[in-house]
Amino acid sequence: MTETDFQYLNQEHNKKKPVIIIATLILVIVIAGAMLLTRQPAKKVKDVVAATIPKKITPIEKPKIDKSTVKIQVMNGTGIPGQAKDVIKTLVTAGYSSNNIRSTNAEKFDNIKTIISMRDTFEETANDIGKILQTKFNEVNISSTRIDKYTEFDIVVVTGSVATPLP
């Protein structure tokens, strides 16, 4: 080959050089752009959970006991005269209605513990009455046995041994 042939080849090679550089540059930009667009930050589980939990949790308030409507039977379980009537006075002082409380004697007078039985859904009322009567009796227990739903009373109290004299 002659020197002219080399010059001709060099010129053609020099013309293709900018095209190759530009094409390579465009290809690099396209690849980099595609990587940036398809790459999203992964959400952390902690962030997802935090987004679904409300910031402030408000406790649900239990409905207050309407003491004036609770039907209570107080049974004297010790044979101490007037004990059931004294319990009624204590319950009335605590806000229960005397119009809805009845007293009678238990079948036996040998109760050591004061037992409170309740109708379903009256757990809170039974606990309230239990707290009231704990100051008056040695031991107050809430019975797990439920009162029949057809019974007249919501709560039945059978008195036991007295801790302190009732008023």
pLDDT digits 0-9 by tens, 110-166 = 999 999 999 988 999 999 999 999 988 989 999 988 998 888 999 999 999 886 555
> What's the topology of domain 67-158?
Alpha-Beta Plaits (3.30.70)
Among 110, 92, 109, CA closest to 101: 92
Q: Of the ranges 6-15, 31-40, 61-70, 72-81, which one carries the lowest mean pLDDT score?
A: 6-15
CB 84 within 8 A of CB 156: no
Q: Where are the domains of the chain?
A: 3-52, 67-158
What is the C-alpha separation between 109 and 76, in angstroms, rounded? Answer: 7
Query: pTM higher than 0.95, yes or no?
Result: no
Residues 14-67: tens digit of each pLDDT: 566 777 888 888 988 888 877 777 776 655 555 555 555 566 767 777 667 899
Distances (CA, A) of 42 to 31, 39, 48, 50, 108: 21, 9, 11, 15, 73
Residues belonging to the chain:
167
